Amino acid sequence: MILTETDDLAACHALRRAVFIEEQGIAEAEEWDDLDGQAVHLLAREGDTPLGTARLFVEGPEGRIGRVCVAKPARGTGLGAALIREGCARLAAAGCTRILLGAQCYAIPFYEKLGFTAFGPDYDDAGIPHREMERRL
């Protein structure tokens, strides 16, 4: 499997459509925003098949990881953790000292295993309960 930075937004969008819109029922208007052009996109592939993606933002000393998703056939393989580790490494290399993400509440234990700590109240994002999490570097 190859996990790299990509400009292939079509592959990233296809994964996000399958996971967020089709599986989780998020409205298209809530999934698509004007931030993709400002983000660094990670894409994991097996051969020509896209399996996972995430997008990264650097905001001064803080980085943000978002839109993390893994295709059904690749779930449980460690790919989600690999995406987060790669995102953290790239944000650290960009000088970030704190990494933030908005976790779906059911996924908080997954992110805690990767060094993130939840803070603040739960909030609704596209009809799904979320909570902010951080990892200090």
Residue of 55, 59, 79 whose CA lies nearest to 68: 55
Question: Over its length of 137 residues, how does the chain's per-residue pLDDT go in tens digits?
Answer: 999 999 999 999 999 999 999 999 999 999 999 999 999 999 999 999 999 999 999 999 999 999 999 999 999 999 999 999 999 999 999 999 999 999 999 999 999 999 999 999 999 999 999 999 999 99
* CATH superfamily to which 2-136 belongs: Gcn5-related N-acetyltransferase (GNAT) (3.40.630.30)
Instruction: Tell me what pLDDT residue 124 has.
Output: 95
* Distance between CA atoms of residues 131 and 111, nearest Å: 11
Backbone Cα Rg of the chain:
14
pLDDT at 96: 98
The pLDDT score that the predictor gives to residue 62 is: 98
Q: Are 73 and 85 in contact (CB under 8 A)?
A: no
